[in-house]
Amino acid sequence: MGKLMQKINQILTYNNGFKDIFNQVERGGLILIAGNPGTGKTIMASKFIYEEIANNNGIALYVSLTESKSEFLKNLKNLGIDFEKFENERKFYYLEVITLTKKEYINDLLDQIISYAEKYNASIVVIDSISPIFQAFSNKIEVRELIHNLFYRLSKLSKRKLVITEEVPYGTQNFGFGVEEFIVDAIIYLKAFNIKGRIVRLAEIKKFRGSDLSLMDIPFRIKPIELISMPRIINYGQRTSKELIIVNLGKLKYEFYKGSQNLILVNPSICKDALTIVGMLGAIVGTPYLRTGSGKTIIRIQSHLVDDFKQNIEKCFSSLQFEKNMIEIILSNIFIIPVNITKLSMVDYFDEINEQEEKIKPSIIIDLTLDSAYSLISDKEIFSYLQLNLINRRSSNNITGIYLINGLYKDLSKFPLYFMYDNIVYVRSYKNKGLIIKPIKIRFSLLPKSKSILYADNLNVCNI
């Protein structure tokens, strides 16, 4: 757990910094974006340009040695960004350069780039990619002179932002001549991995002068409109609400604070879906505000189970001794969301969660898919990062999280971040008479500290 905890501590130091990285680059700053082919370098560079034009009223010059103007405009338009519109508004200029092979032409090219930057009064210049220029030289001394000349004149002296991309050959993590990293202000190293059949993109901050950004891998997605979508990081430790959620199940009563994050480890012999419905019934009986429609609940469940789950929950709630209109209010505030894990990458899975929560604004989240997502589409380190971000955000927004995962008691420590949840209980069958609910971790000392038995007559209230 030591190495994982060290990673978590690194994550906590971000405090949203990476989310705003595109607006942290000062005038005169030089950013290097490196990576293998297909990792998203051009899109990342385009994101810097978009932010400069849209948010800073800037003017951009894009110098491409690898892609035609028509291809660039088409690709970005497919992602929802119309750079042709910016061009018509004289905020964006594209310089298409034939790939160079002779170094005697390089100085003329650099003079041309500087001339255009001055002519258009560009506040940001992108060179995509610098690799063909470097390849025209044979030694580090010439490259260092070139870099100093270009970067000093184009960024430091003129106070322009300069973004360059550089190709990293497959099979190596080294890029260029090894001198760039000592001169630039920031290095963003892009990677793409196949994790359990899904492509996952990562951005590593290898250097960011004047920032406290940690040096680690951050998952990101290429998305329409946003171009580069990165998770928002929130510090852990926010206090939960003093308001209680009370679950009444027969003679047993379970209480926990609203905004707490609760992990329920369910023995594989027990149906998580049925347990969820019974627990929700008990919460509605025990917590009056859940009957008023003042809070929304999201239930995330695998898509092939959704129809049966909806039928059972409607059937169960109809058995309540409440007026029909109250039951309708209760059901209208429950959002059952199907999750097709087989079609999602790990980053897609978590990004979809964020989008749903921003749209619905729930007060309670019940997730029945977390263990399947971990086992089918994730690896431990990146899953831990994304899930930590998720529970921190929910805690800070006073959203109660209830996560049901299948597993044996002895296997709890294998599940990522189990030690970060406020409350953990283990549920297993009890002789054919019901269930034993065993507390493992109780942060706020509200749940029973010793195991309790939930008898079958309480479980069969819904006949499911």
Note the pLDDT tens digit of each residue in 400-427: 999 999 999 998 988 888 888 989 999 9
> What gap in Å lies between CA 420 and CA 132, rounded to an integer?
48
Residue of 388, 395, 393 lying closest to 218 (CA atoms): 388
- pLDDT at 76 (0 to 100): 94
> From CA 143, how far away is CA 140, in angstroms rounded?
5
Mean confidence (pLDDT) of the chain: 81
Say what the alpha-carbon torsion angle 273, 278, 280, 284 is, to the nearest 10 degrees: 160
What tokens appear for 305 in the block?
């189970």
Instruction: Please name the residue ranges forming H helices in 229-338.
Output: 272-286, 306-318, 324-332
CA-based radius of gyration for the chain: 27
- Residue 125 to residues 136, 157, 168, Cα–Cα distance (Å): 21, 14, 21
Distance CA 128, CA 319 (A): 65
pLDDT of residue 218: 76
pLDDT band at 175; cut points 50, 70, 90: low
In angstroms, the CA 1 to CA 456 distance is 38
In the chain, count H helices and then E strands: 15, 19
Tokens 């580090």 sit on residue: 140
Write the DSSP symbol of residue 268: T
Cα angle 42, 47, 49; round to 5: 95
Q: How many CB atoms lie within 10 A of CB 96?
A: 15
44-66 pLDDT, tens digit per residue, is: 999 999 989 988 899 999 999 88
**pTM higher than 0.85:** no
Q: Are 192 and 37 in contact (CB under 8 A)?
A: no
- Strand, helix or coil at 206? strand
- Per the omega criterion (within 30 degrees of 0), is the bond before 396 cis? no
* In the chain, % of residues over pLDDT 70: 82
Across 139-153, average pLDDT: 74
Residue 15: pLDDT band (50, 70, 90) is very low
Instruction: Give the least confident one: 156-160, 266-270, 300-304, 406-410.
Output: 156-160
Whether residue 439 has pLDDT greater than 80:
yes
Of 97, 403, 422, 458, the closest CA to residue 253 belongs to: 458
Query: Which residues lie closer than 8 Å to 437 by C-beta, 6 or more apart?
Result: 254, 425, 426, 427, 448, 451, 452, 453, 454
Task: For CA atoms 124, 128, 130, 136, give the dihedral sign.
Answer: negative
Is the Cβ–Cβ distance between 432 and 283 less than 8 Å? no
In whole angstroms, give the CA distance from residue 188 to residue 32: 6
| HEC per residue, 126-151 | EEECCHHHHHCCCCHHHHHHHHHHHH
Spatial distance between the Cα atoms of 118 and 116, rounded to a whole number of angstroms: 5
Q: Which domains does the chain have, with CATH numbers?
A: 13-229 (3.40.50.300), 244-462 (3.40.50.300)
pLDDT in tens, 334-368: 999 999 988 888 888 888 898 899 899 999 999 99
